[in-house]
């Protein structure tokens, strides 16, 4: 493992006890490590997706421990031709082949189902965030829950005394009416991913989330 990192001492104070807390040593933001898995388990992509979602180490509740694997900047390194900072020779990235085969195939497939020439309703930004949050779930679990987006929570309805206590919805579920064709397109893309590249499922879902978010823009160019 190669690493380019710096550390600093983290200090804080316990106001309740009126005493300093134990000192910890933290990696400074931007630290990088090159790790090669010699004998990776079959579910290694799922595991690193879980680490990205949960973080690692101590004091994660304070914002420490955030980690990202295979950051997108490395896929775009061939676009970086100049820099204001002269890097040490050992830290310079060589020009590689760009995106790997899966990334190219997946984006081609996404463009078939969700072409970049077609903008989505801004409400699909919520679907993009949902996909990113649940990217580590199994294909079966994610697809099952995706079908319920926009529906009232069953536990809430039951807690309120059933459909009578909850009351009828005053309008139809957008994702089952006007947005149904897009949801079906999402389903088609997921079918391809599950069939052709199940080992890349978490990575594919993360890219799908970014793809949907980019298309779900409002008239002012933002997302809801």
196 and 111, same structural domain? yes
- Domain annotation covers residue 76: yes
What is the reported pLDDT for 96?
A: 46
Contact 65, 58 (CB under 8 A): yes
The domain boundary, picked from 70, 91, 112, lies at: 91
What is the reported pLDDT for 70?
A: 76
> What span, in angstroms and rounded, lies between the C-alpha atoms of 129 and 123?
11
211 and 106, same structural domain? yes
- The count of structural domains within the chain is 2
What is the reported pLDDT for 205?
A: 93
- The number of angstroms, rounded, from the C-alpha of 110 to the middle of its chain's C-alpha atoms is 16
Contact 111, 214 (CB under 8 A): no
Mean per-residue pLDDT pooled into runs of 10, the chain (224 residues): 77 77 83 83 87 86 83 58 55 52 90 91 91 91 86 65 55 84 94 92 92 76 46
What is the reported pLDDT for 98?
A: 47
- Domain annotation covers residue 53: yes
185 and 112, same structural domain? yes
The domain boundary, picked from 62, 91, 120, lies at: 91
- Domain annotation covers residue 96: no
- Domain annotation covers residue 220: no
75 and 119, same structural domain? no
> What span, in angstroms and rounded, lies between the C-alpha atoms of 49 and 45?
6
> What span, in angstroms and rounded, lies between the C-alpha atoms of 27 and 49?
20
- Domain annotation covers residue 111: yes
What is the reported pLDDT for 69?
A: 82
- Domain annotation covers residue 221: no
- Domain annotation covers residue 222: no
126 and 72, same structural domain? no
136 and 72, same structural domain? no
> What span, in angstroms and rounded, lies between the C-alpha atoms of 153 and 197?
32
127 and 22, same structural domain? no
48 and 149, same structural domain? no
What is the reported pLDDT for 220?
A: 46
136 and 182, same structural domain? yes
What is the reported pLDDT for 35?
A: 80
- Domain annotation covers residue 141: yes
192 and 141, same structural domain? yes
The domain boundary, picked from 91, 124, 149, lies at: 91
175 and 155, same structural domain? yes
130 and 52, same structural domain? no
Question: Between the CA of residue 37 and those of 12, 42, 69, 93, 102, what are the distances in Å?
Answer: 36, 12, 13, 20, 19
> What span, in angstroms and rounded, lies between the C-alpha atoms of 79 and 96?
11
Q: Which domain holds residue 8?
A: 2-91
């Amino acid at each position: 493992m190669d690493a380019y990192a710096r550390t600093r001492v983290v200090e804080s104070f316990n106001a309740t006890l009126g005493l300093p807390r134990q000192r910890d040593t933290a990696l400074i933001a931007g630290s990088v490590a090159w790790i090669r898995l010699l004998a990776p388990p079959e579910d290694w992509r799922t595991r690193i997706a879980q680490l990205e979602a949960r973080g690692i180490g101590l004091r994660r509740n304070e914002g420490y421990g955030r980690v990202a694997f295979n950051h997108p900047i490395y896929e775009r390194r061939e676009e970086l031709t100049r820099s204001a900072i002269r890097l040490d020779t050992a830290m310079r990235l060589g020009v590689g082949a760009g995106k790997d085969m899966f990334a190219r195939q997946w984006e081609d497939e996404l463009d078939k189902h969700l072409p970049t020439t077609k903008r989505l309703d801004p409400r699909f930004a919520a679907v993009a965030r949902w996909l990113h949050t649940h990217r580590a779930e199994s294909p079966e679990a994610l697809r099952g829950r995706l079908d319920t987006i926009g529906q009232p929570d069953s536990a809430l309805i039951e807690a309120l005394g059933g459909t009578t206590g909850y009351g009828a919805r005053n309008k139809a579920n957008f994702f089952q009416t006007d947005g149904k064709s897009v949801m079906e397109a999402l389903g088609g893309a997921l079918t391809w991913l599950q069939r052709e590249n199940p080992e890349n499922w978490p990575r594919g879902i993360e890219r799908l989330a970014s793809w949907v978010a980019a298309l779900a823009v409002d008239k002012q160019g933002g997302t809801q």
